[in-house]
Structure 1
């Protein structure tokens, strides 16, 4: 099946989801190792309080794609520069982490463990409920006695990696360059709406959806905005080797567990990329309804960007099945 045929099959699934009222709208895109790309949009960028049409260049809150597009990339640049040893503890950069207990387990956590979500941190934590002062919340995260549990996918890992970037740059994340084609916010007239937020009491458009990221005023686990074109540009740079060092690309393709590489996910039964991905595929999703998958074996990548949480997350959008179906459409023999 050609890239264009796979694209048409995948887009028909997105079209059905929009027509059935499962999601307001979305943008589908794909790119190959030569840079050839297809992008198409459908549906609404916003439905309430006033409708707006989705466009090919609509900006999206990329949510946890921030972890791989920005934070993982920046951490691996520091590894390339010799400023970070992946197997050293975070305290090599954050010596004040849990500073009142020298024997705390948190002080032994390494950069590699955070990238691979191989730490005992909890899956989720409503940090924003402790206040809105970003400096106070940073101190709270750094000094809290965290409850330890089994290794799970945890935003805390990447919030801490974000602190590392801030400490070494001596700037907040929002003061750092988000990368070509990306930003830390978006013009509401050109952005897909996310949730009618009960905490901030407004429909969120062009500002970060993630509550913890909002309260921290920038963090390593969420907050990046981009378009389908910018996401595909990032993917193309990894496919052709121009977007990162050979060492960094090798690390994001190197398994750390049955499900994860350095920062990214790899294929497993039931994963978001579908059933037919090559073993050389990596991918990641974002809570707002975003996703990116890169198949190094076949020299292609695809992105599905939706506003599936608009106007509320408390609805079965069918995004899990849609992502898997889109992946299968691109990879089916």
Structure 2
């Protein structure tokens, strides 16, 4: 694993040296627990400078979908609490309650997990206000514009609402899982964006605008370190971190690009072109990513602060992720 790791770190170091990303932590783990982690660069560059460390916390962004929300939805399905093929209205009966025939009322848990719904890709929910209860009501009652099935945060926002209803707690009152958190001491966290509407550099608080306005949601908001992400990945590789059925569903295709909650290999995907067909993965907008190759018994995570200090810059993160994946998996 050492030679593969060394090769995978080369493009990471080059991206930092070129000023494309401030810093990064790269980690690999195998099914038996052998792991390697390395860091480089800066956790923050403005208004202060702080170095990246192996233990730096990251805003994991959409890795929340896989590590937290998908895992808990599949656990509830295992327990018989929910039926993946039942509509969300079995838990959210007030969803579009003023129109019994609304298409939204027919959307199922499984469709949300696989992004097989007509919800729009992007919706600036945060622009409608900062009251989280009012925004929840807005999301549940608005008439959504329907379109082709695309990757949409709305799917996992709704799954998060279902978790909240069943637990009778908000997302941020739920246990984020071992080694994870919903907020972090800024001194120990990689900074994200100099936010144009919050008027500050974000560090230790969620970057995602909609998650911030909702005060927690199912699509973003989880914080973790390379160690906690690798611990989670190893639990899936060695079958100790979830039930056999849940892990099987994470690996079961729902479309050409997606499984239950995860992505699967396709031409040009983030994991590179050399991984096996038994690989799943996911990325986060802030510059994070996790990939698991079950055939090889290996997982790798690349955690960067590529949106610091701004998202409006070509960080090259797409090419970097692919280069790392190819180096990890090239024979």
TM-score category by the smaller chain?
over 0.9
Cα deviations by residue, 1:3-58 (Å, 9 ceiling, x for unpaired): 11111011111000000000000000000000000001000000000100000000
Q: CA deviation digits over 1:255-291, x for unaligned, max 9?
A: 0000000000000000000011100000000000000
Match of 1:311 in 2: 309
Partner of 1:156: 154
What CA distance in whole angstroms lies between the structure 1 residues aligned with 2:124 and 2:276? 36
Does residue 265 in structure 1 map to residue 245 in structure 2?
Answer: no
Q: Which residue of 1 aligns with 2:24?
A: 26
Quick one: distance in 1 between partners of 2:4 and 2:35?
13
Listed as ranges, the matches of 1:163-178 within 5 Å are: 163-178=161-176
Tell me how far apart the structure 1 counterparts of residues 273 and 239 of structure 2 sit (CA, whole Å). 26
Output the CA distance in 2 between the equivalents of 1:302 and 1:323.
11
Note the residue ranges of structure 1 that are not aligned, 5 or more in a row. none
Q: In structure 2, how many angstroms separate the alpha carbons of the residues matched to 1:241 and 1:42?
A: 31
Q: 2:280 pairs with 269, 273, 282, which one?
A: 282
Match of 2:319 in 1: 321
Report the secondary structure of 1:38's partner residue.
strand
Structure 2 residue runs of 5 or longer lacking an equivalent are: none
Aligned CA RMSD, in angstroms, stands at 0.3
Could you tell me the TM-score, scaled by structure 2's length? 1.00
CA displacement at 1:180 relative to structure 2: 0.3
- Displacement over 3 Å in runs of 4+: none
2:199 matched residue in structure 1: 201
TM-score by length of 1: 0.99
- The partner residue of 1:131 within 117, 120, 129 is 129
- Distance in 2 between residues matched to 1:10 and 1:288, nearest whole Å: 20
- Give the number of aligned pairs: 331
Deviations 1:214-269 (A, max 9, x none): 00000000000000000000000000000000000000000000000000000000
Please point out which of 23, 38, 41 is paired with 2:39: 41
Deviations, residues 154-200 of structure 1 (Å, cap 9, x unaligned):
00000000000000000000000000000001110000000000010
